Amino acid sequence: MKQFTVKTGARSEMTDITDRVRDVLRESEIKSGICYVFTPHTTAAITINENADPDVPRDIIMEMDKVIPLNDNYRHIEGNSAAHIKASLIGASEMVFIEDGKLVLGTWQSIFFCEFDGPRTRKVLVKWTP
């Protein structure tokens, strides 16, 4: 298993981490298998979505904010319930196939780290299996 950090700059943002994951796999020299990308945080998530138009991640964040408002008489005393809910809806991990030493992703797909309670420094874990 390998890990890297992502420094986020806003309360909510999506960071393309595909190249970071590729760097890890290149070092691993795995040719065929499965790659897992996981974030060990309760207010962040991992997802796969469009990398070409930066408005796609912006729209995702904008609509998530509408569905899960920042303040809504939540009981969680820390005050970041919206971030916890968003993290659970998107999920803490993604799985991607590896073939010929490369991630099998669609042309327009990237792996994104989703911050919902930033800015912070976050961890991403990458593990692979043949």
- Please identify, using beta-carbon distances, which residue of 82 and 111 lies nearer to Zn ion: 82
Rounded CA-CA distance 128/39 in Å is 15
- Please identify, using beta-carbon distances, which residue of 11 and 20 lies nearer to Zn ion: 11
- Residue number of the CB closest to Zn ion reads 78
Min dist CB 106 to Zn ion, Å, is 34
- Please identify, using beta-carbon distances, which residue of 83 and 96 lies nearer to Zn ion: 83
CA angle, corner 48, sides to 46 and 52, nearest 5? 125
Site for Zn ion in 22-51 (CB under 5 A): none
Min dist CB 81 to Zn ion, Å, is 7
- Please identify, using beta-carbon distances, which residue of 42 and 49 lies nearer to Zn ion: 42
Site for Zn ion in 53-82 (CB under 5 A): 78, 80
Burial of residue 5 (number of CB atoms within 10 Å: 0-12, 13-18, 19+):
exposed
Min dist CB 70 to Zn ion, Å, is 13
Min dist CB 18 to Zn ion, Å, is 28
Q: Specify which residues 38 forms β-bridges with.
A: 93, 125
Q: How many residues bind Zn ion (CB under 5 A)?
A: 2
In DSSP notation, 59-116 reads HHHHHHHHHS-S-S----TTS-HHHHHHHHHH-SEEEEEEETTEE---TTEEEEEEES
123 — phi, psi (to 5°)? -105, 145
In the complex, the residues that contact Zn ion under the rule CB under 5 A are: 78, 80
